[in-house]
Amino acid sequence: MTSLPAQTQRKLGLVIDLDTCVGCHACVVNCKEWNTGGYGASLSDQDAYGAGPTGTWLNRVHSYEISPPDGPAQIVHFPRSCLHCEDAPCVTVCPTGASYKRVDDGIVLVNEDWCIGCGLCAWSCPYGARELDAAAGVMKKCTLCVDRIYNENLPEIDREPACVRTCPSRARHFGDLGDPDSHVSRLVASRGGMDLMAEQGTKPVNKYLPPRAKQKTEQTGTTRTTNHEPPAGGFLGWLDNALEKLG
């Protein structure tokens, strides 16, 4: 089995704002495009234009309608990918050492030359963030675009994950969550950023900013966003239960 580092020098990860994500799937498409031609084997599709297409995606967006007891119904778009957990069970169950967590930046990766496609990492991940590529026969997951963020051949503005670079509503943010002064850490502190399914004890590096509650105005019947965050255990608590059912 593979060991986790006692600590990492940095904690690179994503902060995703559920209040501003519009569910356009631009992050999903650009992730697929970049990773099909980048790090590791291509992300394959099977019967892409047939009746039952399947394929490998490192980032997916789910949309939910929620009906808060004290406000109008609203649609929340929820992007889902690897959370690069500090206590990543996908790493510790790997029998070959293919799954590992990097000491210098905390990114969880898969050495595809060592992966035997046994699926133990997928079974152990509570977030459903790993997928077996049917063509390559190896496990795939978000790499935080490790081949972009350190690529000195790219303009500095492009040295961030493809999903972050392409997001039209700026709902995705990338940085060092181990640095309390980084812009992502400040976002988490100011907006009450939360761990997804914290009860699993995986200590995910990625954080979610909860959607602000909506209020219906009596005069027009329209909705407006308030500055009040939903109570603890609100939407994200409901989402935890929904993801458990998906798994």
Here the CATH number for the domain that contains residue 138 is 3.30.70.20
81, amino acid identity: S
Give the model's pLDDT for residue 42. Answer: 85
The answer to whether residue 42 sits within a structural domain is yes
Strand-strand pairing, 207-209 and 12-17: parallel
Q: Specify whether the CB–CB gap between 26 and 168 falls below 8 A.
A: yes
Write down the mean pLDDT value for the chain.
89
Find the mean pLDDT for residues 203-220. Answer: 77
Helix (H/G/I), strand (E/B), else coil: 31: helix
The answer to whether residue 4 sits within a structural domain is no
**pLDDT band at 120; cut points 50, 70, 90:** very high
**pLDDT band at 199; cut points 50, 70, 90:** very high
The answer to whether residue 5 sits within a structural domain is no
Number of independent structural domains in the chain? 1
Tokens found for residue 144: 């935080």
Distant-in-sequence, close-in-space partners of 124: CB < 8 Å, separation ≥ 6: 89, 90, 92, 93
Of residues 237 and 233, the one with the higher pLDDT is 237
* pLDDT above 90: residue 222: no
- Residue ranges making up the domain that contains 240: 12-246
Of residues 157 and 241, the one with the higher pLDDT is 157
The answer to whether residue 1 sits within a structural domain is no
Q: Provide the CA 228 distance to its chain's centre, in angstroms.
A: 25
pTM: 0.84
Q: SS3 sequence, 48-72?
A: CCCCCCEECCCCEEEEEEECCCCCC
The answer to whether residue 234 sits within a structural domain is yes
206, amino acid identity: N
Helix (H/G/I), strand (E/B), else coil: 156: helix
Residue 138 CB: number of other CB atoms within 10 A?
Answer: 19
Give the model's pLDDT for residue 29. Answer: 95
What b/e sequence results for 193-226 when a residue is b if at least 16 CB atoms lie within 10 Å of its CB, and e otherwise?
A: bbbbbeebebebbbbbbbbbbbbeeeeeeeeeee
β-sheet bridge partners, residue 139: 132
The answer to whether residue 7 sits within a structural domain is no
Give the model's pLDDT for residue 73. Answer: 83
Distant-in-sequence, close-in-space partners of 214: CB < 8 Å, separation ≥ 6: 68, 71, 72, 74, 223, 224, 225, 226
